[in-house]
Amino acid sequence: MPFLPVDDQLEIISKGTEEVIPLQDLRHKLEFSIKKNKPLVIKLGCDPSRPDLHIGHSVVLQKLRDFQDLGHQAILVIGDFTAMIGDPSERNKTRPQLTLEEAKSNAESYIEQSKVILDVKTLKVLFNSTWLNKMNFSDVIKMSSKYTVARMIERDDFTKRFESKIPISMHEFLYPLAQAMDSVEIRSDVELGGTDQKFNLLVGRDLQREYDQEPQSIITLPLLEGTDGIEKMSKSYDNYIALDDSPEDMYGKLMSIKDSMICKYYKLAVFADKEKVLSVENQLKDTSINPRDIKRDLAKDLVARYYDKDIALKAEQAFDQIFVKKSIPDDISVFILEEDSTILEILMSESLIESKAEGKRLIGQNAIKIDGEVCSDPGHIFSKGSGDLIVKVGKRRFLKISG
């Protein structure tokens, strides 16, 4: 497959990114790749100790897929070396120590989940223990000599901890170098990562230079906040939409995001084009449109992306069903049906209406619903054996009739 012209490639590559450093270098690399008809090596590192992929991961994975579609060589570097060591200081509970088996199995699961985004046929998967396990103390000293303490402390989280006197174990300084060695080992041309990985990606760049390689370009992608709209999406915050969530869960979780997150999710979860995002922004400004309806469209788009449109529609219907049930308070009164009774008799006896006249008026206004369905018959009779039914009067009065 011939490569697209540089400008066309750059347009696709740059879309949705936070930073491309340095852009000029990437242009040269692409030119060289076309000239030599040689695909670029695109690195994405992954942490097998957190193998649950969610749509937050889809941002970088989709960018890797973009490179695949442009004919470049995507390499997934499984960080099993550090995952198997874990955090020997036991300060960091989010970094458990994995066995070789767990690391392998998590990596397989990671690849399996990423199939919905990546082209796994051309994907190259490498385990960094392959080369990092071979390094001895002397190699580590040589590697460490290429980097200064001051630059390491510049990493945002290290700076904060250092200044607040929160201990940083010395091995934590070795991890950024270890993953940077991955770039040296695979001679990556480009590395992808979330904005929170920028420092590490730059260390890779520096280390390649020290090992006499052309330094990789780095591309950072924005982080997607979780459904809470506050924290980065993560399983540990329980604010995530998994790539392998059921259509119903995907739809329902998306509906729980804040209105202020709608545009960001349009961009980073369903990768809408500029025009679509602009139109959504306008809709959100239009007070006659309920943001909930825009979110419903977004939720359908998301499910359609990972499944298809029909499944998305069914997920919506299922959601509506559940949503009705969900909109009922937990602590409503229960009326135990002893004998067949009309709706107005029951509502009167439970004081949900003050008179049968009020009940009739409300029914006339379609303001009384049974299990979400409008009740239009003032003589509607509840019979024994009909199970639990929820009666809603107006907006806030509920009664469960247990028949």
Closest to 18 (Cα-Cα) out of 176, 197, 179, 151 = 197
In the complex, minimum distance from the CB of residue 148 to a second copy, in angstroms, rounded to a whole number: 4
In the complex, minimum distance from the CB of residue 85 to a second copy, in angstroms, rounded to a whole number: 5
- For residues 87 and 56, the answer to whether their CB atoms sit within 8 Å is no
Q: Output b/e per residue, 149-188; b: 16+ Cβ within 10 A.
A: eeebeebeebeeeeeeeeebeeebbbbbbbbbbbbbbbeb
Out of 36, 93, 165, 274, the only residue in the binding site for a second copy (CB under 8 A) is 165
**164 interacts with a second copy by CB under 8 A:** no
**170 interacts with a second copy by CB under 8 A:** yes
**138 interacts with a second copy by CB under 8 A:** yes
**139 interacts with a second copy by CB under 8 A:** yes
3-state secondary structure of 282: helix
**137 interacts with a second copy by CB under 8 A:** yes
**150 interacts with a second copy by CB under 8 A:** yes
Q: Is the CB of 89 or the CB of 351 nearer to a second copy?
A: 89
Q: Is the CB of 169 or the CB of 290 nearer to a second copy?
A: 169
**178 interacts with a second copy by CB under 8 A:** yes
Q: Is the CB of 37 or the CB of 89 nearer to a second copy?
A: 89
The Cα 189–Cα 40 span in angstroms is 6
Phi first, then psi: give them for residue 289, nearest 5 degrees.
-100, 130
Q: Is the CB of 40 or the CB of 78 nearer to a second copy?
A: 78
Tokens 């960091």 correspond to 92
- For residues 52 and 101, the answer to whether their CB atoms sit within 8 Å is no
**167 interacts with a second copy by CB under 8 A:** yes
Give the interface size with a second copy as a residue count (CB under 8 A). Answer: 41
Residue type, position 21, single letter: I
In the complex, minimum distance from the CB of residue 154 to a second copy, in angstroms, rounded to a whole number: 12
- For residues 63 and 218, the answer to whether their CB atoms sit within 8 Å is no
Residues 105-134 that bind a second copy (CB under 8 A): 132-134
Distances (CA, A) of 400 to 8, 328, 361, 391: 61, 10, 21, 6
Q: Residue 306, Cα to own-chain centre: how many angstroms?
A: 13
Binding letters toward a second copy, positions 67-96, x by CB under 8 A: --------------xx-xx-xxx-------
Query: Which residues here bind a second copy, judged by CB under 8 A?
Result: 81-82, 84-85, 87-89, 132-150, 152-153, 158, 162, 165, 167-174, 177-178
